Every structure is written in structure tokens, then in C-alpha cells.
Amino acid sequence: MENVTLNVKGMSCGHCVKSVEQSVGALDGVEQVSVNLEAGRVNVAYNDQKVSLAKIKEAIDDQGYDVL
């Protein structure tokens, strides 16, 4: 199990949190997603045998947010 904290730019409301948590959480291999809106961070616990960090970043990017 891997844990990563990503800095994400562009999130500003509860809808942003929900869209990121749902899109990342839907990936096979992602165990847990939590968004800290104030800090602009997304914490992800995932199985690196099932999903890559690049795929997680892509899921966030596809929602319209920038992973720094």
C-alpha cells in the first residue's frame, strides 16, 4: 500500500472536493481518498500493483484541476 499527498490547484468548494474524491476513488486499486480543501491537498492510499500514480494524477487533471 502506498500513500501520497498531492498538491492540487483550482479546488475551491464542496463540489470540487466531491468530484476529486469520486473520480480518484473510482479507480481500481485506490483504497482511500481525502481532500483538504483549505490546504489544496489530496491524500490518496492506493495499491501500486493495480493503479499508477500517473493514473491518479490524470483522474484529478480530467476534473479540471492542476496537480503540482
If phi over 0 gives left and psi between -120 and 50 gives alpha, with beta otherwise, what is residue 22? Answer: alpha
DSSP annotation of 10: S
What are the tens digits of pLDDT across the range 5-61?
A: 999 999 999 999 999 999 999 999 999 999 999 999 999 999 999 999 999 999 999
- Which three cell numbers, joined as nine digits, stand for 17? 472536493
- pLDDT band (50, 70, 90) for residue 4: very high
Domains, the chain, ordered by start: 2-56 (3.30.70.100)
pLDDT, position 17: 96
